[in-house]
Amino acid sequence: MPEHFEAGPTPEDKKRILKERAAKLARAPEKEGAAGSLEILEITLAGERYGLESLYVREVYPLKSFTPVPCTPAFVLGVVNIRGQILPVIDIGKFFDLPHRELTELSRVVVLRSGAAEFGLLADEVTGVRLVAPGEIQASLHAVTGIRAEYLKGVTGDSLAVLDAVRILADKALVIDEEVAG
């Protein structure tokens, strides 16, 4: 039935189809860069990958030199000078009792900030940034890592443990406030 073929879709149909297609195409990117997807900074601690919400990461700074501060707990690496600001650096691996790693050229200070709380976390390496849909982070039922569940925000589909930056920043155990007993 050649007539039928020649007739094809009517102009109205064509318009409708094109519109539908356009709508589909237009929606796609919206879905991806979508509202609410989380940007996660991937770091390495004691050979394992962890994530940190980049919302709370002020900057990442190569650990060039640091000054140890005496009379502080072992999890305090020391202080660094970042553009004139003196910033404490916490060896979070040591705080979590993870196996010790030597400092290397890849060692990074991840400066976390939320409200007034601000300090650097020592990471063995920073491997990159990726986007994660918020639904993808699930509370882990059993500990997948050596880090206590209270410090974890959750675990992604490919079992990347995302640290709870807000919880860590607010943790009083990481605040040094000691007086010499009279």
Partner 1 sequence: MTREEEFLERLRATFRVEAGEILSSISAGLIELEKRPSPARQAELLEVVYRSAHSLKGAARAVSLNAIEALCQAMENIFSALKRGEAQASPAVFDSLHAAADLIRPLALAPAGALQPEEQTKIQAMENRLADAVSGKPQREPPPPAAAPDVPPEVPFPVPRETAAASAGSGGIHAETVRIPMSKLDALVLKAEELISAKLSARLRAAEMRKLKAIFGAWAAQWDKAAPALRKAARGIEAGGRTASGEGAGAAPGRPGDFFEWNSRFAKSLEERLDAMKRAAEEDSRSTGGMVDDLLGDIKEVMMLPFSSALETFPRLVRDIAREQGKLADLTIEGGEIEIDKRVLQLIKDPLSHLVRNCIDHGLETPESRRGKGKPEKGSLKIAVSQIDSGRVEVLVSDDGKGIDAGQVKASAVKYGILSGEEAGALSDRDAIDLIFKSGVSTSPLITELSGRGLGLAIVRENAEKLGGTAAVETSAGGTLFRLVLPLSIATFRGITLEAGGRAFIVPTKNVAKIISVSKDAIKSVENRETILFNSRAVSLARLADVLELPAAAGAGEGGSLSVMLLGADGGYMAFVIDRVLAEDEVLFKNLGRQFARVRNIAGATVVGSGLVVPILNVADLMKSARKYSVAAAARPAAEAGRPELQKQSVLVVEDSITARTLMVNILESAGYGVVSAVDGVDGLVKFGGGDFDIIVTDIAMPNMNGFDLTAKIREGKKRPDIPIVIVTGLESPEDKRRGIEAGASAYIVKSSFDQSNLLEVIKRLI
Q: Which sign, positive or negative, has the C-alpha torsion 145, 150, 151, 156?
A: positive
Among 9, 19, 67, 167, binds partner 1 (CB under 8 A): 67
- In the shown chain, the binding pattern of residues 159 to 178 toward partner 1, with x for contact by CB under 8 A and - for none, equals -------------xxxxxxx
Q: Among residues 2, 70, 128, 135, which is the contact residue for partner 1, using CB under 8 A?
A: 70
Mention every residue, 6+ apart, whose C-beta is less than 8 A from residue 19. Answer: none
- Contact by Cβ (8 Å): 93, 46: yes
Q: What gap in Å lies between CA 66 and CA 89, rounded to an integer?
A: 9
Report in angstroms how near the CB of residue 126 gets to partner 1 at its nearest. Answer: 21
Residue 109 near residue 63, CB atoms below 8 Å: yes
Task: Pick out residues in 27-66 that bind partner 1 (CB under 8 A).
Answer: 35, 65-66
According to CB under 8 A, which residues from 122 to 141 bind partner 1? none
**Residue 82 C-beta: closest distance to partner 1, Å:** 9
Instruction: Quote the CA–CA distance of 77 and 54 in Å, as a whole number.
Output: 22
Q: Pick the stretch among 7-15, 94-102, 116-124, 125-133 that binds partner 1 (CB under 8 A).
A: 116-124
156/135 Cα distance (integer angstroms): 9
Angle CA 92–93–97, to nearest 5: 115
Q: C-beta of 54: minimal distance to partner 1 in Å?
A: 13
Separation CA 105–CA 89 (nearest Å): 16
Question: Which listed residue (38, 40, 45, 90) binds partner 1 by CB under 8 A?
Answer: 90
Find the shortest distance in angstroms from Cβ 116 to partner 1.
6
Give me the residues that bind partner 1 (CB under 8 A), please.
Answer: 35, 65-72, 79-81, 83-88, 90, 116-119, 172-182
